[in-house]
Structure 1
C-alpha cells in the first residue's frame, strides 16, 4: 500500500461560465457547483489545486486533424452562417452548437487532462483529477455528443510516453466510442466501457462483440447494459470484470471516466445507480494503487453531478463527507433537503442475472484470448511541452502572472455564475 496518495486537482472557473444554449442539456455550470462543494467540505486543503494551461492548437492536433482544430479556433456564433458546409463536415449544430468562447472552453478542459497526465508521468502525484474533462465522444475530425475535443485521448497519448500499457475505464451511461475508436488497432491501450446499449440509444455502438481489430483485437471491452441497473448488479459486475482485466492486461496507469449520467434520475440517463454505488467503482479502482487520472463526463441533472463528483473527490482523498451540505455559493440548488444522498431510481431493472452472467462470460472469454500483457519497445520520450514563441510585450500582463501564484489560485472572483436557470425545477421551488 502507498502510504498516502498525493492528489493533484485541476480547475479553472472560466470553464463553468460557458453556455451551450437555453434548451441544451449540457450545463458546464455544474463544474462550478462541484468545485464549490469541494471547497465547502474543505477538500482543497488535502490536495494540490492547479489552474490548467490552455492547450495549444498543436497539442490538440496530436489527435485531432489540424483543419478541424483550426475551424474550432475560427468559428464564432456570429460567423457560423458563413460556414454551412464546414459545420456539416465537422458535425457542429444542434447537439454540438457553436457558442461564445467555444475554443477556449476546449483548451481549458483538454489542458486540464493533459496537465494531469504530465504530473502523473513525472511522478509528482499518484492521482490527478480533472472533473471538466471526460468528453469521450469527440472524434479525430468531428464533434459528437456534446464533445468537441477528446481530452481523454490526448491524456492517454501523454501517458503512453512513459507507460507501456494504459487501461481506460468508462462508467458514463453512454458508450465511450471516441476513445475506443482512437485506440481500436493497438494493444497499448485497453478500453473498457460499461454503458446502456440498444433501443437506438446514443451513440448506438458498444456491443459486446466489438473487441478491437488487428493488434488491438481483444483490447476493446464492452459491457452493454439495459435500463434500470442498480448498485448491487453494477458494482458486482464492475469489480469482477476490472479485476480480471487488471490481472490479464497488467496496466501501468489507469484513466477513469466518471460520467454521472449513469446516476438515478439523470435527465438523459436510464440507470438506477446511487452516488454511493457510482463512487464504489472509483474506490475500487483507487485501491489498485496504479497512477490514476480521473475525469468527469456526462451528467445532466447538475445538482446530482456536483454531489457525485464531490463525494468521489472525497473517496480519492480517503475522506467520508457528512451528508449535510455545508453553506456555499450554490446551496440553493441542493434544497429542500440540502443533503448529499439522492433518492433511489424507480426504473425497472431489465438486467436479469442470466443476462449479466452471459455478458461477463463473453468478456472473460475474450480476455482469455490475450496470451499475456503485451510488451512494448520503449522509444525515446518526446518532450512534454510545445510552447510557441511569444512576444512578451504583446502578452496580456494577467497571463504573465507568476506560474506558482497561478497554480495556487483556487477561487476566482468572477466564477460565480448566476445564469442558466432554464429548465431548473428546483430553482422555482426555493
Structure 2
C-alpha cells in the first residue's frame, strides 16, 4: 500500500503551502550527559525547544511526547546481545565488562553514562513514532530533533551513536511504502544507514559528506550499493569549505533526479547541523539558510517527510538551525531577532538567528563538483524507472525475528497516551 500515484509530485507546490506537522519532544532529553568535555550535548535539544516555544512555532504543530522504544523494538535491527548489553550496563558496572565494552565499541567516543539505555529508548521511540504518524496519514511532516543518530551499527555503537533510530524508522515506513528515500546532510557519512540497506532496492540512501581523512572514512562516490541494491546508494564526497552555492549545485540536481527515478513513498531527511559554518567539529561553510534550503527542497515534493537531527556541536548554532528548519517545515519564515528566553545568553551579543558564513577557502573546485554530479546522474539514469518489488519483500540482511509484532497494534504501541510498560528479558553479563 503506497501513498500517491506513480507520477512525480511537483516541486512547485509552493513553500507557503500548509503542511500538517507533528513534533516529538521529551522534556527530560536535555538532562542526559555524555560526560565532561564530550562534544555531544543533548542539552541542544532543550535549547531548540525553547526557541520553538518562544517563537510561537509550537502553536502551529502537534507536540507529541514519545513512548520509549522497547527492547524488542530495538531488536528489529540491532542484535539481541547488543541491546541487552545497553540495557544492563551502567557507569558503576562498566568496568566489570571490559571485553563487552570493546566488542560493542562502547568506550571513548561512545561512553557509558547515566541513563544511557533510557536515552536510546527515548530518541528511537520518537523516530519510530514519527514513522507511525506518517504511515497513518494524519501528518505530512514528522520532526524528531533528538534522532538522526546515523552511525550506529547492528551490533555496536559508533560516532556518538548507540541505537540507529533511522534504520528503525525506515523499517517502520517500509510496512506501508514500497520505497523509502534517506537523505543525509550531516557533515559525516551516514554509514550505519547505508550499510543496513546496501543490498536492497527498496531503500535509497543519499549522503552528502566530507570525504578523506575524516570520520568515519567511508562514503566514496564509487560505493553505489551491491546486488539488488546496486545504484541505490548515492555518495556525494565533498571537501572542506563548501558554501551554499556549491552545495546546492549538487544537492538539487542529484535529489531531483533521485525523486524522478526512485519515486519514494516517504522520505527521511537527516539534518545534522555539523555541516554549518563554524561547527566545533565540522569544516563546511554552509549558512543556516543554505542548510535549511535542503529541507525546503525536500518539502516541496509533497511526499511524507520525516525530519531528524544528527550531529551539531556548536550548541547555539544547532538550536538556531533546527528552529529555523522547523519554521521551513511549517511554511513560516522565522524572524531573525531571537526572542528573549531562558537561553538568550547563548545568542549574545547580536541575539540573531542567522550568522554569516566565514571567509574560509572552498576547496571544492568547479571541475570536481561537475565530475561528481555527472557521474552520479549517469548512475541514476541507469535506473530507468522505479523498481518493481513485492510489497511484502524485506531487505534480506534485516530479516530479524518479529514473532510478537503481528500480535500488536502499531497505533497503540506509539500512542502518546500509552502507559504500557517496557518488557523483555533481563540483560545478562
TM-score, scaled relative to structure 2: 0.89
Local SS of the residue matching 1:360: helix
In 1, Cα distance between equivalents of 2:310 and 2:408: 26
Partner residue in 2 for 1:66: 80
1:383 deviation in Å?
A: 4.7
1:345 deviation in Å?
A: 2.0
Matches within 5 A, 1:125-274: 125-198=139-212, 200-274=213-287
Local SS of the residue matching 2:128: helix
Q: 2:94 aligns with which of 73, 76, 80?
A: 80
Local SS of the residue matching 2:310: coil
CA separation of 1:219 and 1:86: change in aligned 2, threshold 3 A = same
Alignment of 1:339 with 2:375, yes or no, is no
Alignment of 1:103 with 2:117, yes or no, is yes
Local SS of the residue matching 1:364: helix
1:405 deviation in Å?
A: 10
TM-score, scaled relative to structure 1: 0.88
The answer (yes or no) to whether the contact 2:19–2:331 under 8 Å persists in 1 is no
Local SS of the residue matching 1:293: strand
Partner residue in 1 for 2:369: 356
In 1, Cα distance between equivalents of 2:391 and 2:250: 34
Aligned residues: 391
In 1, Cα distance between equivalents of 2:407 and 2:233: 28
Partner residue in 2 for 1:374: 387
- Tell me, which stretches of 5 or more residues in structure 1 are unaligned? 388-401, 407-430
1:4 deviation in Å?
A: 2.6
1:63-86 deviation per Cα after TM superposition (whole angstroms, max 9, x unaligned): 000100000000000000100000
Partner residue in 2 for 1:55: 69
The answer (yes or no) to whether the contact 1:114–1:151 under 8 Å persists in 2 is yes
1:403 deviation in Å?
A: 5.0
1:297-353 deviation per Cα after TM superposition (whole angstroms, max 9, x unaligned): 000001100000000000000111111100111111111111001121232100011
Local SS of the residue matching 1:140: coil
In 2, Cα distance between equivalents of 1:325 and 1:313: 15
Partner residue in 2 for 1:292: 305
Q: 1:30 aligns with which of 44, 47, 51?
A: 44
1:46 deviation in Å?
A: 0.3
In 2, Cα distance between equivalents of 1:403 and 1:372: 39
CA separation of 1:8 and 1:403: change in aligned 2, threshold 3 A = closer
In 1, Cα distance between equivalents of 2:141 and 2:245: 26
Partner residue in 1 for 2:9: none
In 2, Cα distance between equivalents of 1:207 and 1:403: 41
In 1, Cα distance between equivalents of 2:108 and 2:188: 18
Local SS of the residue matching 2:28: helix
Alignment of 1:40 with 2:66, yes or no, is no
CA RMSD of aligned residues (A): 1.7
The answer (yes or no) to whether the contact 1:271–1:345 under 8 Å persists in 2 is no
Partner residue in 2 for 1:419: none
1:235 deviation in Å?
A: 1.6
